[in-house]
Amino acid sequence: MATTNFTNKKFIAGIIIAILVSSAISIGVSTMLIAGPQGPEGPQGELGPQGLQGETGATGSIGPAGATGATGATGGTGPQGPQGEPGPSAPDYDSGWVDISDKNGEYFTLTHNLDSTNVIVDITGKTAVDGGAHQIHLGSTSFKQGFEETYGGTDNDFGYSVVQTIDGGYAIAGYTASYGVAGANFWLIKTDSAGTVQWNQTYGGANDDIGYSVVQTSDGGYAIAGETLSYGAGGTDVWLVKTDSTGVAQWNQTYGGTNDDYGRSVVQTSDGGYAITGWTQSYGAGSGDSWLIKTDAAGTAQWNQTYGGTSVDQGFSVIQTIDGGYAIAGYTESYGSGGIDVWLVKTDGSGTAQWNQTYGGSSSDFGYSVVQTIDGGYAVAGTTLSYGAGSEDSWLVKTDSTGAVQWNQTYGDIMDDAGFSVVETTDGGYAIAGITNSYGAGNYDFWLVKTDGSGTAQWNQTYGGTNDDIGWSVVETGDGGYAIAGYTASYGAGGNDVWLVKTDVESGLAWTGSTANIVTLYRGLTDTYWKYVRVRIWKIE
């Protein structure tokens, strides 16, 4: 064990001595290199291996665009295309624009003198002279059949007012002695578009109650104005009945004093109330004054005004004007040229008269219906004994916005003829409904006169039988025709019956024939499209 230890010590001492000797040798060598002369340059060593490739540098910015090159030379002209079709030649005949506005319901001819039936014909029309050309309903007229319907029982039943309802049907107001409580009652009849009754309602008491005017209200119901002996303050009073859309009465109001007061016309006003005209013997200046009553939406009177002098003055028709006032047409014995004159009164929105005008001659002249026209003036329909062809003629007076006469026209012959209702039509003309004893089947007949915008008659039609048939009210219908309401003793169940006549609708232009030199055309009776026609003809060689 001791021997081993000694041996290890000797081994360690030897390593130490060896390290010291090695260090001394290194020192010596180093001393010798520094001190000795530089030896000759050794040969070049071999080329080392190639280093790794460096990373790619960032892309440089785009240089400026080069200058635009010069424009190339124009190419040569291409080959000529094929020849086009020849254009149309001028017609051998051109009528130009021919005014046919007065040819409703008439055949007419155009003479071309080409002495040939081997032709090409082109026909175009216009509604206005400066309008676009069209070919609406060309070749054959568009025809819609009208109808006639009576309503009533074995006693007397009368219709005085008609409106076309929002569903395309009709509502007729008048009175009935065949139905109701007793005597005569207000009567409202609602029909579909074909005149078939959908429902009817009577309103009234034990005495006579007469309905003269109806409007469909903004809520889909109806308002009927007339007069009542069953209710009110005494004598005859103005009566307004408001119904729902099925004719059930919602409320009613009477207006008047201890004497007789009459209602003839009602309109719904822009504020939802009503304006009624007629005449009063309870108030005013004379024995009877024209009367205007304004109510709220519940029929409560807001104000009323009388118009007239010491004689009889009566209002028959009222409209609300575009300025919010009112226009009343009727007749006056207090003012004018003599006897009785047509009277037009214009008021502001509170019923204060702004102006009034009389129209007439030395005999009696009556106004029954007024409309405000598209130009802001007025058209008044009635009857005249002062002018015209016979003892009494239907009369239409057109005024400007201040009531000054622009023109007037009479319609009729040697017997009695009257106009009771007027509408301005969609073509700018007028339709007047009333009665004639100069034309028709016998006694008085319904009479419808259609005019142009200057009052010149374009056509007229009578409707009726051998007894008296009285047309009181007309509306232009949505299909371009007309509906007239009144009463008839020629047809129905007995006595007088309410009568509704819906006219045929006949629009368009028909080419009905031609010869070697003439073309024959027919314009529909109620047409509004073909006021001007142009016919061009090419001969085929």
Cα–Cα distances in Å, from 120 out to 92, 512, 532? 10, 15, 20
Report yes or no on 56 lying in a domain.
no
Q: Read off the pTM.
A: 0.80
pLDDT of residue 444: 97
Q: Are 487 and 464 in contact (CB under 8 A)?
A: no
Do 499 and 522 fall within a single domain? Answer: no
65, amino acid identity: A
- Where in the sequence is the domain holding 162, given as residue range(s)? 146-503
- What is the 3 state secondary structure string of 436-466? ECCCCCCCCEEEEEEECCCCCEEEEEEECCC
Report yes or no on 316 lying in a domain.
yes
Which tokens in the block code for residue 272? 């939802």
**What's the whole-number mean pLDDT along residues 493-499?**
95
Helix (H, G, I), strand (E, B) or coil at 291: strand
Which tokens in the block code for residue 215? 């409007």
Do 135 and 151 fall within a single domain? Answer: no
**Conformation bin of residue 272: beta by default, left when phi > 0, alpha when psi is -120 to 50:** left
Q: Are 133 and 126 in contact (CB under 8 A)?
A: yes
Do 279 and 393 fall within a single domain? Answer: yes
| Model pLDDT for residues 330-381, shown as the tens digit of each residue | 999 999 997 999 999 999 999 999 999 999 999 999 999 999 999 999 999 9
388, amino acid identity: G
- Any idea what the Cα angle at residue 293 is, between residues 240 and 425, rounded to 5°? 80
| Model pLDDT for residues 137-153, shown as the tens digit of each residue | 898 677 889 999 999 99
Cα–Cα distances in Å, from 347 out to 103, 292, 315? 40, 10, 13
d(CA 470, CA 310) in angstroms, rounded, equals 32
Report yes or no on 26 lying in a domain.
no
Our CA dihedral for 244, 250, 255, 259, rounded to 10 degrees, sits at 100
Report yes or no on 475 lying in a domain.
yes
| Model pLDDT for residues 239-278, shown as the tens digit of each residue | 999 999 999 999 999 999 999 999 999 999 999 999 999 9
Q: Are 248 and 274 in contact (CB under 8 A)?
A: no
pLDDT bracket for residue 528 (50, 70, 90): confident
Which tokens in the block code for residue 199? 């429902």
CATH number reported for the structural domain that contains residue 347 in this entry: 2.130.10.10
**Conformation bin of residue 366: beta by default, left when phi > 0, alpha when psi is -120 to 50:** beta
Report yes or no on 194 lying in a domain.
yes
Do 230 and 265 fall within a single domain? Answer: yes
36-67 residues labelled b (16+ CB within 10 A) or e (exposed): eeeeeeeeeeeeeeeeeeeeeeeeeeeeeeee
Nearest-Å Rg of the Cα atoms of the chain is: 51
Do 356 and 490 fall within a single domain? Answer: yes
Find, among 380, 377, 328, the residue nearest to 356 by Cα: 328
**What's the whole-number mean pLDDT along residues 489-493?**
96
37, amino acid identity: P
Report yes or no on 226 lying in a domain.
yes
Do 124 and 154 fall within a single domain? Answer: no
Is the predicted pLDDT of residue 157 greater than 80, yes or no?
yes
Do 514 and 532 fall within a single domain? Answer: yes
DSSP 296: -
pLDDT of residue 25: 26
| Model pLDDT for residues 387-414, shown as the tens digit of each residue | 999 789 999 999 999 999 999 999 999 9
Do 402 and 265 fall within a single domain? Answer: yes
Do 117 and 202 fall within a single domain? Answer: no
Which tokens in the block code for residue 418? 């009257």
Strand order in the sheet with 147-151: 147-151, 497-502, 482-488, 469-476
How many domains does the chain contain in total?
2
Report yes or no on 65 lying in a domain.
no
Report yes or no on 9 lying in a domain.
no
Do 196 and 112 fall within a single domain? Answer: no
Find, among 161, 205, 239, 206, the residue nearest to 498 by Cα: 161
Helix (H, G, I), strand (E, B) or coil at 82: coil
Backbone angles phi, psi at 345, to 5 degrees: -115, 125
pLDDT of residue 66: 56
Do 526 and 377 fall within a single domain? Answer: no
Find, among 441, 443, 416, 445, the residue nearest to 433 by Cα: 445
- Any idea what the Cα angle at residue 188 is, between residues 252 and 504, rounded to 5°? 145
Q: How many CB atoms sit inside 10 A of residue 96's CB?
A: 9
Do 527 and 430 fall within a single domain? Answer: no
